[in-house]
Amino acid sequence: MDLFKPSSALIIEDKPTNMSNKGIDTTFVHYGIRKEDMNIIEQLCAENDVDFSWLQENILREFHSLRINNEEIDQKTIEKIIEKALNKK
């Protein structure tokens, strides 16, 4: 047995990793909503003729950002998010 020969189990590959390889739900990371739930929201948007991409980027992402920053979210804040999003449409 050669003590200086590295075991294949000890060789560490230098590959870039991403969150999906680690089992992290990237949808949850970006929007605070599990991917399965986001699929339901997308389906509801389609059924009600709402642009899902617009909703996702302008309302859900903004709402999630406030939650991450521990900002108080009341009805007035939600109304402002929606008004801002509607102005971008």
Residue 13 lies in a domain: no
Per-residue confidence (pLDDT) for residue 22, from 0 to 100: 65
The structure's pTM equals: 0.64
- Host domain of residue 59: 22-88
pLDDT tens, position by position, 62-83: 999 999 999 989 999 999 999 9
pLDDT tens, position by position, 20-59: 456 778 888 888 888 999 999 999 999 999 999 999 999 9
Residue 45 lies in a domain: yes
Pairwise pLDDT comparison (22 vs 9), residue with the higher score: 22
pLDDT tens, position by position, 27-38: 888 888 889 999
Residue 15 lies in a domain: no
Torsion-angle region of residue 64: left (phi > 0), alpha (psi -120 to 50) or beta? alpha
